[in-house]
Amino acid sequence: MVGVKDLKWTPIPIELAKKPDYFISGHRMCAGCAAPVIVKLALKALPNPENVVIVNATGCLEVASTIYPYTSWKRPWIHNAFENAAATASGIEAAFKALKAKAVWKDDLPIVLVFGGDGGTYDIGLQSLSGAVERGHKFVYILYDNEAYMNTGIQRCSSTPQFAQTTTTPAGVVIPGKLEWKKPIGFIIAAHGNAYVATANPYFWIDFVKKVRVAAEYNGPAFIHAISICPRGWYHSSKITMTVSRLATETCLHPLWEFDPENKEYRITDKSLEIARNPEKKVPVEEYLKLQGRFSHLFTPTRRDDIISEIQRKVDRDWEYLLKLAGMK
Amino acid sequence: MVEEQVEMLLNGDFAVAWAWKHVEPDVVAAFPITPQTLIVEKFAEFVANGEVRTQFINVESEHSAISAMVGAAAAGARTATATAANGLQLMHEILYIVSSMRLPVMMAVANRAVSGPINIHCDHTDAMGQRDAGWIMLFTEDAQEAYDTTIQAFKISENPDVLLPTMVCLDGFLVSHTAMNLKVFGNPKIVKDFVGEVRPVARIKLMGEEVELSLNPRNKIPLTFGPFCYYDYYFEFKRQQIEAMKAVPEIVERVNKEYYELSGRLYGNGRLVPWNVDDADIVAVVMGSAAGTLRWVARKYRERGTKIGILKVRMFRPFPWEEVQKLLENKEVVAVFDRAQDAGAMVGPLSLEVLSALYYSKNRPKNTVTYIFGLGGRDLTPELAEKTFEELIRIKEGKEKPFIKKYIGVRE
Ligand SMILES: Cc1ncc(C[n+]2csc(CCOP(=O)(O)OP(=O)(O)O)c2C)c(N)n1
Ligand code: SF4
Ligand SMILES: [Mg+2]
């Protein structure tokens, strides 16, 4: 089995806290940004964080952490371009395999760890990612999904939730923000059939670090879709990042699950498993929407019950679908 | 000492594949496009039969091919890829990243016209679209030169004073698919010793430590490749790249000479291959397989006492402008044969380089003209070459007015 249940590792908070940070302070990401939390946790979750090579797609994380001549990365790190992080990772993985075959590299093969934003993953980088997954390279791809192109100023992505405002899908009198439902990236990658795929949320951090560990130990491509709260682009106070993050999962907008490619099994995990077993714990989406300025046009000047209930209906529908996939319905 | 070689019947693509086989790069990533396909197909055979230990990545696009090269080369591997035309255009964005990261990637380009309309045959427009990407660019004339130059390219690029990628161009079909008897080293070890068994990864001083210029996790100080660079440092990065380019001409010459000692084959000084240029009144400047055609036709004129010379440009980037200036001093007529599109430009890209060089010459040729030829694989026949030579002779004799450029072999 490939999954968190089978993992022979229990993350102990104090031990993780004591591990050295390989992503260090001084970077220029916004206060309250969840992306650095995701990066730090992921690095701490690796079995051997000394032996890692990191790839970063163009985006907020890359730009704000490597403003020359400074860098926040204390492990080898490379940024190539926006749409090619997975192809870059293929090259690195192949290189170490070749160097190992020639006995130039004598240690274990390093983990190739990729961080890509949603733009670099769902949209412009999808081909490169699909190709690398299909070829079966061993790499761990962590998508930090802040649901828009933040680095260039909060533009629409296929990851942007329906009815959210972005600078290219502004809420006007005719069009109420983005019109399309969010693309199910996790299912798309899982459909390749050979990858360990999981969703994650840094608020539910034990579930997250376990999944990173499973991914690192899996002998093939692994993809982790982490929701990444962006106070700047979602228009909310930087103080409530973790509240918003928690609600993303509690409302079932971003449920926690994993896909085991060997047994072809979807499994619901952690908080989402609790909700699956106790449906009354599912929080109405409105609780999540109302905290964020990107959805403010659903509440003022007039309340759009029609839209809010449409979102709720689709979230319920998708949740039911996931329960079915996981054999819980 | 010239080493033992074996004769083989190979076309240009297979010649590149054989050169790769002898070099045995660590990582090859490529995507098929005519007329490059035979390179990767042949090399895939070598991989499948265990004749090389190369990691061969069948990527899903050229963009990913060159992107994988970036990752692999930054990891310290010896890398090679090949493409043409639309594939090269698709790589365009990443080519600049390769050179700016100072990654010694080897790339073969089987030159092909660029869409549209879509075409699969030779011209140099694909490579010319990349001429400012910071790559070393070498043009070859036949399959033998493609084999030799491919091997040389690794040694040039990986030189610690250079650390720039090299593009080895071979004319689509005219070279890529045209078989000739050529010589390859009988013992691949000769090639391995020439380029080095493994890639020599440069070492740099950083904050008091010596580190490998790579993503090596064992580095005392881990390196950050491809950072974000504002106006406060970007220009210095570019300036250093330009400085690295300056080291190239001499290293190309040295590698050409060292290779000659092993193979017995010499390509001019590595940069330019002049044929009867010194005493010539009329000189044709050209790149790629057309050099052979022009030489063949010029030979007949020489026999009749007409002093025509042919200057083959082998190294287009960095452009050896000072030498070109010198070689063309005081000539009666210089004709640049340009196999690339020039829409909206004064002349074609090769000609622009030559004219710029000549502008600063104290002894400029009396006449300089440009012929645009061979787009989309249109043949430069000996008859057509002869017609142009006749025209150049008339210009020399004052019987015809010189011009800036003409398109030859095309329906007007
Ligand atoms: C080929 C290309 N097109 C466009 C851009 C401009 N660009 C840079 S980052 C970015 C958006 C990044 O969005 P995402 O991947 O979601 O990361 P985020 O900044 O949101 O973390 C864009 C559009 C680029 N660098 N390269
Ligand atoms: S814009 Fe959003 S994703 Fe980017 S640094 Fe700020 S909070 Fe983080
Ligand atoms: Mg984003």
Q: Which atom of ligand 2 is nearest to the CA of A35?
A: 8
Q: Are A246 and A275 in contact (CB under 8 A)?
A: no
Separation between Cα atoms, residue A132 and residue A109, nearest integer Å: 18
How does residue B222 score in pLDDT terms, banded at 50, 70 and 90? Answer: very high
- Does B35 sit behind a cis peptide bond, omega within 30 degrees of 0 on the bond before it? yes
Query: Residue A153 carries which side chain, given as an amino acid letter?
Result: G
How does residue B289 score in pLDDT terms, banded at 50, 70 and 90? Answer: very high
CB nearest to B67's CB, from A77, A87, A97: A87
- What are the residue boundaries of the structural domains of chain B, listed by start? 5-200+247-263, 272-407
pLDDT at B140: 98
- CATH number 3.40.50.920 is the correct assignment for the domain at B272-407: yes
Q: Are B89 and B116 in contact (CB under 8 A)?
A: no
pLDDT at A287: 98
Residue-by-residue DSSP string for B273-302: EEES-TT-SEEEEE-TTHHHHHHHHHHHHH
Residue B78 pLDDT > 90, yes or no? Answer: yes
* Beta bridge partners of residue A259, listed in sequence order: A197, A266
Separation between Cα atoms, residue A253 and residue A121, nearest integer Å: 19
Q: Are strands B282-286 and B308-313 parallel, antiparallel or unpaired?
A: parallel
Closest CA to B274 of B319, B350, B326: B326
Residue B144 pLDDT > 90, yes or no? Answer: yes
pLDDT digits (tens, 9 = 90+) for A14-24: 999 999 999 99
Q: Measured between alpha carbons, how far is residue A38 from residues A21, A42, A140, B123, B298 in Å?
A: 12, 6, 14, 50, 69
Q: How far, rounded to the nearest angstrom, does the alpha carbon of residue B405 sit from its chain's CA centroid?
A: 24
Q: What is the pTM of this model?
A: 0.98
The CATH code for residues A13-325 is: 3.40.50.970
Residues in chain B: 412
pLDDT at B1: 78
pLDDT digits (tens, 9 = 90+) for B114-135: 999 999 999 999 999 999 999 9
Residue A149 CB less than 6 A away from ligand 1: yes
Q: Within 6 Å (CB) of ligand 2, which residues are found?
A: A 29-30, 33, 35, 60, 64, 146, 150, 230-233
Residue B73 pLDDT > 90, yes or no? Answer: yes
- Tell me if A76 and B55 make a contact (CB, 8 A cut-off): no
pLDDT at B56: 98
Locus of tokens 């310290």: B76
Mean of pLDDT values over B302-309: 98
* Beta bridge partners of residue A54, listed in sequence order: A77, A113
C-alpha A7 – ligand 1 centre gap (Å): 35
C-alpha A119 – ligand 3 centre gap (Å): 5
Q: What is the mean pLDDT of chain A?
A: 98
Residue B198 pLDDT > 90, yes or no? Answer: yes
Residue-by-residue DSSP string for A77-118: EEE--SS-HHHHHHHHHHHHHHHHHTTS--SPPPEEEEEEES
Separation between Cα atoms, residue B324 and residue B366, nearest integer Å: 15
Q: Give chain B positions within 8 Å (CB) of A151.
A: none
Q: Give chain B positions within 8 Å (CB) of A73.
A: 222, 224
- Tell me if A128 and B64 make a contact (CB, 8 A cut-off): yes
C-alpha A124 – ligand 1 centre gap (Å): 9
- Tell me if A94 and B233 make a contact (CB, 8 A cut-off): no
CB nearest to B222's CB, from A73, A91, A101: A73
* CATH architecture of the domain covering B5-200+247-263: 3-Layer(aba) Sandwich (3.40)
